């Protein structure tokens, strides 16, 4: 069996497992497990966004928590004003997920356009540090924003609603997150298979050669960076609704690091790498975190082993070398 076939089977198994486990928990009356599965799905959505920039474009962004936080604050502010019946910038607040998601993606994409336009003029460690600097700017801005909680954060008293679903029920919220995750993975797969994805991967491998054949490295990378920020911003809005809380911690550099860890654990550039990586991260946090407060040490050892001996992540270790990119 070739590597492509093995990866397809593994992807199918991951998609099925992520659905079946919370389904069993719903039947068994275990809402905590459903909530964990929802968190895995939302973290995977955020990582899918980063995977477009990092996995396809080779852009090591250490500031993607900025877009996660922007999405979170859009959802939190919308819910806050809808609950209090006060306008936002002269407009009425909303407690509907679809318009909140659209606004979160637009704002995140706009910020990503500015950040990308500046940071993509550099490369290597300079690119990493500029993206980190912008994320820290967002973190400290939220920290000093007393109108929406400042360092104490902003509680969401009433979750935003989705047509035909009761978002207060864990199973309904999981179904929404799962559907959005599948849509995000489809977008990633279509981008990777399209000429845009081929151009992006060619730029990642050799930007000078790509430019010589008429491909614009800056324009292609900037577009990918904006799409990446928009998807991560969407995940931030969903995470805020899941936790019913948003705080500056969503923009902290540690959150950016977690997203990178998720991709490395699952497999950089792999379609279901974010799903596998998110499941590993949440699994370590819950199961090992209940045993020892030093669970991140063990996660670090696993990450070290993946970097040294399985550079394709869990997906690459099982499926073998990828034929794309």
Mean pLDDT of 24-38: 95
- Residue 122 scores a pLDDT above 70: yes
CA angle 165, 102, 199 (to 5 degrees): 120
Within 8 A by CB and 6+ apart from 30, the residues are none
Where does residue 90 rank: exposed (0-12), middle (13-18), buried (19+ CB within 10 A)?
A: exposed
- Residue 323 scores a pLDDT above 50: no
Q: Which of 239, 240, 251 is closest to 111 using CA atoms?
A: 251
What are the strands, taking DSSP E only, across the chain?
Answer: 87-88, 91-92, 154-155, 245-246
Q: Is the pTM of this model over 0.85?
A: yes
Residue 69's pLDDT is: 96
- Range with top average pLDDT, 115-129, 175-189, 213-227, 311-325: 175-189
Which residue has better confidence, 259 or 296? 259
| Structure token pair of residue 195 | 């000429």
């Amino acid at each position: 069996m070739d590597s492509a076939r093995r990866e397809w089977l593994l992807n199918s198994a991951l998609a099925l497992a992520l659905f079946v486990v919370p389904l069993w928990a719903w039947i068994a009356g275990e809402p905590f497990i459903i909530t964990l599965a929802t968190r895995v799905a939302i973290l995977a959505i955020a990582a899918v966004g980063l995977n477009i920039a990092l996995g396809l474009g080779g852009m090591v962004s250490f500031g993607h928590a900025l877009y996660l936080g922007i999405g979170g604050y859009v959802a939190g502010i919308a819910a806050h004003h809808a609950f209090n019946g006060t306008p936002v910038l002269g407009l009425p607040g909303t407690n509907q997920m679809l318009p909140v998601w659209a606004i979160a993606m637009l704002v995140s994409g706009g910020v990503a356009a500015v950040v990308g336009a500046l940071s993509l003029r550099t490369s290597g460690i300079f690119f990493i540090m500029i993206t980190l600097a912008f994320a820290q700017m967002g973190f400290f801005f939220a920290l000093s924003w007393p109108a929406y909680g400042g360092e104490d954060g902003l509680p969401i008293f009433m979750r935003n609603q989705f047509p035909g679903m009761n978002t207060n029920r864990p199973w309904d919220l999981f179904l929404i997150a799962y559907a959005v995750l599948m849509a995000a993975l489809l977008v990633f797969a279509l981008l990777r298979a399209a000429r845009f994805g081929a151009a992006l991967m060619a730029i990642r491998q050799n930007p000078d050669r790509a430019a010589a054949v008429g491909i614009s490295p800056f324009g292609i990378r900037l577009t990918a960076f904006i799409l990446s920020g928009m998807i991560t911003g969407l995940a931030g809005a969903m995470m805020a609704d899941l936790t019913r809380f948003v705080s500056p911690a969503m923009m902290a550099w540690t959150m950016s690091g977690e997203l990178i860890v998720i991709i490395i654990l699952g497999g950089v550039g792999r379609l279901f790498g974010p799903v596998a990586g998110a499941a590993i991260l949440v699994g370590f946090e819950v199961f090992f975190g209940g045993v020892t407060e030093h669970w991140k040490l063990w996660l670090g050892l696993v990450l070290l082993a993946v970097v040294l001996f399985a550079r394709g992540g869990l997906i690459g270790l099982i499926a073998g070398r990828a034929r794309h990119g």
